[in-house]
Amino acid sequence: MKRRHITSAISQTFGKFASKEFPHWFQNIVNRSYVGLMGLDMSEFHSPETYKSLNALFTRHLKEPRHYSLNAADFISPCDSLISECGTLISDYALQIKGMRYKTDEFLGQNFSDEEKKSIHDGDFINFYLSPKDYHRYHIPTNMKVLKAVHIPGKFYPVNVPSLKKRLNLFIENERVVLQCETMEGKTFYMVLVSALNVGVMKVSFEPRIQTDADVVGEQVYEFKDLYLDKGDDFGCFEMGSTIVIISEKGMFEDIVVKAGDKVKFGETVATLK
């Protein structure tokens, strides 16, 4: 039997601790300590003592819905995050971070055809890094159709900026869920959820069969016929911080209005569609 990478063992151990519901007095200490240590802004959420586990705190929901542009051309951020990198692909090369590039053909895995992979060559990309203090849920960035989801097992290396600078092809090595999407105008883009250390679980609400950080061998493919999702819909969460990469076909975006180093929140317009 193939041995799992040490990063998986660490993530599973932390996941068990985070999921455990301790006695209220102790859980309150754990939650408040985490909020203070990481500097969480809880102004849009319930108070820390209301969450029965650390994982419940990680995956907290907003108390009130956020407002975002209803203009169909406005493509919104799917999460609260740092833009670690963004720009235009050179053929199938995208930037992991400045000076470190990787091939999107490898990033998407083995279950997309050469034609499907070529559809995004010379297109655009935006990397959204969620730190441990960020709101961990993710949302739909534009009215769209989901064609396919592919779960690719892998490692759980940290995805913070120092790690991105040190490890070539980190995005390709880490476990990920690749969503093949289509805008209402028929343009193709991929939204990729990338795991990280202590982020064993990436939940996808519209496909509960996807079980990340599990004993899965090989890529798992899920195809959909008429799965339409609306801008702003909550479709899952990371259990801790991680990264979402959006890669679009050439000409899908009129303009990307963010740059590397920007902090964005879910609902903020990050690009405009043609």
CATH number of residue 233's parent domain: 2.70.70
Domain ranges, residue 20? 6-58
Beta bridge partners of 90: 93
Residues 29 and 125 in one domain: no
pLDDT of 14:
60
46 and 149 housed in the same domain: no
7 pLDDT tier (thresholds 50, 70, 90): very low
Catalytic residue among 84, 119, 195, 242: 242
My answer on whether 48 and 92 are in the same domain is no
Residue 242 bears catalytic tag: yes
Average per-residue pLDDT for the chain: 89
Whether residues 141 and 51 fall in one domain: no
Confidence of residue 9 (pLDDT cuts 50, 70, 90): very low
Least confident interval from 49-58, 212-221, 258-267:
212-221
Residue 231 pLDDT grade (very low, low, confident, very high; cuts 50, 70, 90): very high
Task: Say what the pLDDT of residue 95 is.
Answer: 87
Please tell me whether residues 90 and 12 are part of one structural domain.
no
What is the predicted pLDDT for the residue at 241? Answer: 67
pLDDT band at 157 (very low <50, low <70, confident <90, very high): confident
Same-domain check for residues 111 and 239: yes
Q: How many domains does the chain have?
A: 2
What is the DSSP code (8-state) at residue 99?
T
Q: Out of 74, 80, 92, 134, which one is annotated catalytic? A: 80
Over residues 12-26, the pLDDT tens digits come to: 556 666 778 899 999
Look at 98 and 58; give whichever has higher pLDDT.
Answer: 58
- Pick the more confident residue, 126 or 54: 126
260 burial via Cβ count (<10 Å: 0-12, 13-18, 19+): middle
- Secondary structure of 193-259 as H, E, C letters: EECECCECCEEECCCCCCCCCCCCCCCEEEEEEEEEECCCCEEEEECCCCEEEEEECCCCEEEECCC
Q: Which two tokens stand for residue 140?
A: 């739909």
pLDDT band for 163, please (50, 70, 90 cuts). confident
Domain-embedded: residue 65? no
Reply yes or no on whether 41 is catalytic.
Answer: no
- Best CA proximity match to 96, nearest among 150, 172, 153, 177: 172
- Let me know if residue 197 belongs to a domain: yes
Q: How confident is the model at residue 160 (pLDDT cuts 50, 70, 90)?
A: confident
Compute the residue count for the chain: 274
For position 2, what pLDDT does the model report?
44
β-pair partners for 150: 178, 221
Share of the chain above pLDDT 90, in %: 70
Non-local (6+) Cβ contacts of 34 within 8 A are 40, 48, 54, 57
The predicted pLDDT at position 247 comes to 97
Average pLDDT of the residues in 240-254:
92
Element containing residue 176 per DSSP (H, E)? strand 176-183
**Cα–Cα distance list, 255 to 16, 190, 243, 251 (Å):** 43, 17, 22, 9
pLDDT digits (tens, 9 = 90+) for 182-219: 999 999 999 999 987 655 578 999 999 998 866 667 89
Same domain, 104 and 148: yes
| 80 counts as catalytic | yes
Asked if 31 contacts 40 with a C-beta cutoff of 8 angstroms, the reply is no
Among the listed residues 81, 92, 139, 151, the single catalytic one is 139
Q: Cβ–Cβ contacts within 10 Å for residue 21, how many?
A: 12
Residues 160 and 125 in one domain: yes
Considering the domain architecture, whether residues 113 and 53 belong to the same structural domain is answered as no
pLDDT digits (tens, 9 = 90+) for 61-77: 999 999 999 999 999 99
Classify residue 103: in a domain, yes or no.
Answer: yes
Task: For residue 47, give the amino acid letter.
Answer: S
Give me 167's structure tokens. Answer: 């490890």
Count Cβ atoms below 10 Å from residue 70 Cβ, excluding itself: 9
pTM here is 0.89
